[in-house]
Structures are given as structure tokens and as C-alpha cells.
Amino acid sequence: MSTATENTSTEGATVEGSFTPKTLFKYNGHDMQEIYIAVKGVVYDVSAGRSFYGPSGPYANFAGHDASRGLALNSFDAECIRDFDQPIDDLKDLTPEDIDSLDGWEEHFQKKYPVVGTLVEN
């Protein structure tokens, strides 16, 4: 059913519904056609938003990554995005305003895109 299982690669680390930063990274719209992003530990299939997250889209940095910090800080700068070999951002330093912003975006993703799994450590 889900592309997450169909496309399990030789890396072998993708368990159904469960992505690590490394396995999520493949869903960046060029290694794989599908585009997934994580928000607060939940992975969404944002392929329908390819014009936003696809390789030449304004938010391409988020594709295949945890976008939580960028959404909290309203920034698509690279410094808000961790490399796929890093631990998951614990977001502990966010202010209440940042968390409000992040929660607003989370609601947007929940309404618009299907959930395909959760994000767990590499």
C-alpha cells in the first residue's frame, strides 16, 4: 500500500511507517519522485505540493527532512535543517511563540497531506 514499504531500498532501514533521518532523505523529489517531510515527529507525503517542495520549489530544503525548526522560525534557511546523519532536533530551545507557529503549520499539514509514518532516530 504505502510507498514507504514498496520503496524500501538496499539500505534496509525503512520499517513500515517508520523513517529515520537517513531513510526520509531519499524522499526529496529527485532521488525518489515522492516528497516526504517530517513535522513534529510525523512524516507527511507532500508530493501533491511539488511546486513548493520539489527540486526547484521555494521550500525544496524541507524535502526529505524534518522541517519542524524551519516552520517554527518561519525560515527555509539551511541552518534550520539538520543533515540526515545528525540526531533528530529536540526543539527544546523554541520559545512559546515559535511553538505556536509550528503548531499552526502542523495543523496545515494535518489538513492537507496524508500521514505516512513517524520519524525515529537513525
Q: Are 78 and 84 in contact (CB under 8 A)?
A: no
Closest CA to 64 of 19, 5, 112: 19
Q: Which is nearer to ligand HEM, 24 or 71 (CB)?
A: 71
Q: Rounded distance, CA 48 to CA 36, Å?
A: 10
Candidate ranges 11-19, 28-36, 69-77, 88-96; the one touching ligand HEM (CB under 6 A): 69-77
- Contact between 110 and ligand HEM by CB under 6 A: the answer reads no
Candidate ranges 6-14, 15-23, 70-78, 91-99; the one touching ligand HEM (CB under 6 A): 70-78
Closest CA to 38 of 81, 101, 100, 98: 81
**Residue whose C-alpha cell reads 545528525 in the numeric block:** 86
Class of residue 83 by CB neighbours under 10 A (exposed 0-12, middle 13-18, buried 19+): exposed
Binding ligand HEM (rule: CB under 6 A), the pick from 59, 82, 94, 99 is 59
Closest CA to 120 of 26, 42, 45: 42
- Contact between 94 and ligand HEM by CB under 6 A: the answer reads no
- Contact between 84 and ligand HEM by CB under 6 A: the answer reads no
- Contact between 75 and ligand HEM by CB under 6 A: the answer reads yes
Binding ligand HEM (rule: CB under 6 A), the pick from 22, 76, 84, 103 is 76
- Chain residues that interact with ligand HEM, rule: CB under 6 A: 46, 49, 52, 59, 70-71, 74-76, 112
